[in-house]
Amino acid sequence: MIIKNVELETVIGVTTKKLPENTLPEFAFAGRSNVGKSSLINALINRRSLARVSSTPGKTQTMNFYKVNNEFYFVDLPGYGYAKVKRDFRASWGPMIEGYLTGSKQLKAVFLLLDLRRTPNEDDIMMYNWMVQAGFHPIIVATKSDKIKKNELERAKNSIKQTLGGEISNTFFTFSALKKTGREEILDKIEEMLAE
């Protein structure tokens, strides 16, 4: 897939009740704060900083809709699970994300990003279960693969699979923002879903 143009079209905050009435397919990206959602989106669209990357976890507090090639959207969901973000904001994210997962008419798939170096925690498991209950088959993207030794890769992947349970082996990618490994495979998967 060749990315020709991208624009940040819509930003939804916790106080916004209405989702955009998009007519194009949407692909959402969810994950805990600092897992690398913005880095993944920037890598997929081949831009350095369209999606804001921050060293401060919990910075993305909105849903950002990026229109890609005038054909589909990438939706960057707020990062979850960072304790230093104000509690009232954190309490609002859950309903906002859940409302989007159950309310969007164009949502084709949800990518759940997990840090390959860590076992999924309670927030990750809750997010995974939300997606499943909403009728999706979450596509797992294990990020930061460049930070783990090659001989530890399979063990780390198996740890994620066993913790989440379910049949996720066919929808599991490893990704490195530094080396861009996994980028083409993820784009191929998106292209495949667009063709369905």
C-alpha to C-alpha distance for 35 and 115, rounded to whole angstroms: 6
Q: What is the pLDDT of residues 113-134, one digit of tens each?
A: 999 999 998 888 888 888 888 8
pTM equals 0.86
| Band of residue 166 on the pLDDT scale cut at 50, 70, 90 | low
| Range scoring the smallest mean pLDDT among 9-23, 53-67, 156-170 | 53-67
3-state secondary structure of 105: coil
CA–CA–CA angle 134, 137, 138 (5° rounding): 95
CB 94 within 8 A of CB 178: no
Region 43-71: mean pLDDT is 74
